[in-house]
Structure 1
Amino acid sequence: MNNAPLRRTLDQDICVHIFTASAAMVGVCITVIGLLRVVITLRRADLIGDDLLAINAMLYLVTCLLSYWALRTRNQQRNHTLERISDTLFLLALTLTTLNAGFITWAMSVT
């Protein structure tokens, strides 16, 4: 039994999900940066959280671009390599998002 067509379909499916989720998360990061800047201005306190979120948004953007490239490539080996890198970066960005949320919550409650 040949599972190559099934694997290709599943890989493209994963790539599409990473692409859409990471693109949405770029928007989420930018929105939170804007809200955080408003809070910083009102409280007259500066946080490093907006800088961390900017880095986070860049990670999501790179993930989004890599998954888009994986969807567009015809070379199957390049496709799998790009998917692996994109998947790893997406999980790293999700972890950073969680750490940022904890940091911002902690920093806001201390100040």
Structure 2
Amino acid sequence: MSENKSPVSLDEDICVHVFTASAAMVGVCITVVGIFQVITTLRSENSLGDDFLTINAILYLITTLLSYWTLRTRKINRNPLLEKLTDALFLIALTCTTGIAGFITWAITLK
């Protein structure tokens, strides 16, 4: 009674998680941009932090759309290249989020 589990089910789970996490991160980036705009307006300062966050939100949006496309086409014709591209872009966006957080933190503390 050994059950053979195929790696396909794991890939399906990962794609769903990338889709939900990317969509949530778009909302997080937009929220932080809004808060950032309020702070910079009150201080009468200009910063690159909100610009970087907007670019990061666009990266997450592209990742969300690609993972949605992967989920929709999975039953018809599975495309492993699209899955790898989606995963790579998600990891790049996560890395950018960390870099932007450091940039904002150190830019605020240096002033």
Q: What is the TM-score of this pair, normalised by structure 2?
A: 0.91
What's the counterpart of residue 81 of structure 1? 81
Q: What is the CA RMSD across the aligned residues, in angstroms?
A: 1.4
Kindly report which structure 2 residues correspond to 1:54-69, keeping only aligned pairs within 5 A, or say none. 54-69=54-69
Structure 1: gaps (5+ residues): none
SS at match of 2:6: helix
- SS where residue 47 of structure 2 aligns? coil
Deviation at 1:83, TM superposition (A): 1.0
Q: Aligned partners of 1:99 and 1:89: how far apart in 2?
A: 15
Deviation at 1:62, TM superposition (A): 0.5
Give how far 1:110 is off. 2.1
Letter in 1 for 2:83: E
2:13 is matched with which residue? Answer: 13
Structure 2 Cα separation of the partners of residues 54 and 10 of structure 1: 31
Aligned length: 107
Residue of structure 2 equivalent to 1:33: 33
Aligned counterparts of 1:19 and 1:68: Cα–Cα separation in 2: 6
The structure where helix makes up a greater share of residues is 1
Structure 2 gaps, min length 5: none
Q: Which of structure 1's runs of 4+ aligned residues deviate more than 6 A?
A: none
Amino acid at match of 1:75: N
Q: Secondary structure at the match of 2:46?
A: coil
Deviations 1:53-110, CA, capped at 9 Å, x for gaps:
000000000001111111110212x2x1111001000000000000000011111122
**Aligned partners of 1:107 and 1:43: how far apart in 2?**
14
Task: Report SS of the residue matched to 1:21.
Answer: helix
- Rounded to whole Å, the distance in 2 between the matches of 1:38 and 1:110 is 20
